[in-house]
Amino acid sequence: MPVSVPKTLVPYDDENNIPLRYHYQRTKKRRVHEDIFGELFNADSDNDYCEAYDSESKLYDHFDFVQEPYKARVDNDDDDDDASDSPYEVAQKIKKREEEGEEEGEKEGEDTWKGLLEVLNREGLIFIGQEITMKLANSVISLMVYLDQEDKHDQHTTMFINSPGGSILGGLAIYDTIDLVRGKEVQTIAVGIAASIASVVLIGGGLRVAFNTARVMIHQPRMKAFEDESTEIAREVGVLLDLRNSITEIYVRKTGRTYMSITRDLEVDKFLTAMQARAYGIVDAVAPKKSDDSILDLIFS
């Protein structure tokens, strides 16, 4: 004898898929004993094509976002208990796994990038591609000291510089460390721009190279450079003058120019092309084109 069914029905097709256009179905009184396919509900047998819900709101809560076949999701799921779960529970589990997969993918991408930099660092390649801060300076210094102690790198370390400058004390710390690890020469390469204190780091290298389109900017340290430092230090004019003198002497020693000439040039922002930087004495060479790779052999040998 046919039995009555709840008001709201979710129809399945013959492959147990949920058609999106049938998110809900209001059964009319004259068809209260039949599902959407016209199959009779019997008290003695189960109907696999229809799942009943008490209300339309409950149905919407369960199925409004379902976009994939329920049967396919159950078949592709690894959990044995999922086969007995409702479509809503299966969809919730799959949605959670998709979100976890996206998070894992982002994490794997970050790990891959960090892993790439670590591999390059172990090969003796250091990159300064941002504003120089005390934190960055400490990382670069520790890496240079580590590479200097490694037996694997018995020739030199190569440092790529693309920085607008930054902390004066941080940059000078990197410069001093380059002098410290002379057991393994640190070669510096200007890529993009080496400005302000980054130009001091560039000039400290053993072999100094600038790419063809690189730019170098030199100037005297200013009070603005102390924004990240102690306010008390910034107020000490004597400290600033001492730093100006130290940086001027570095340029004099590395370029061979007179103290007065360097002092005059550093009073304003002085931008130099790669060729001008070589003529000035800041770099030893300009990276050649592929037809002449003698300098590149020195860098990567």
Residues 144, 292, single domain; the answer is yes
Annotated catalytic residues are: 196, 219
Q: Is 202 contained in some domain?
A: yes
Q: What domain range is 59 assigned to?
A: 8-97
Residues 57, 156, single domain; the answer is no
pLDDT at 198 (0 to 100):
95
Residues 77, 161, single domain; the answer is no
38 vs 292, residue with greater confidence: 292
Domain of residue 232, CATH code: 3.90.226.10
Q: Is 117 contained in some domain?
A: no
Judge whether residue 15 has pLDDT over 80: no
pLDDT at 179 (0 to 100):
86
Residues 178, 268, single domain; the answer is yes
Residues 195, 78, single domain; the answer is no
Q: Is 24 contained in some domain?
A: yes
- 155-165 tens-digit pLDDT: 688 999 999 99
Residues 128, 93, single domain; the answer is no
Residues 169, 231, single domain; the answer is yes
* Secondary structure, 3-state, the chain: CECCCCCEEEECCCCCCCCHHHCCEECCHHHCCECCCCCECECCCCCCCEEEECCHHHHHHHHCCCCCCHHHHHHHCCCHHHHHCCHHHHHHHHHHHHHHHHHHHHHHHHHHHHHHHHHHHHCCEEEECCCECHHHHHHHHHHHHHHHHCCCCCCEEEEEEEECCECHHHHHHHHHHHHHCCCCEEEEEEEEEEECHHHHHHHCCCCEEECCCCEEEECCCCHHHHCCCCHHHHHCHHHHHHHHHHHHHHHHHHHCCCHHHHHHHHCCCEEEEHHHHHHHCCCCEECCCCCCCHHHHHHHC
- 251-274 tens-digit pLDDT: 999 999 999 999 999 998 999 999
Residues 86, 205, single domain; the answer is no
Domain count of the fold of the chain: 2
Chosen domain end from 80, 97, 114: 97
Residues 295, 215, single domain; the answer is yes
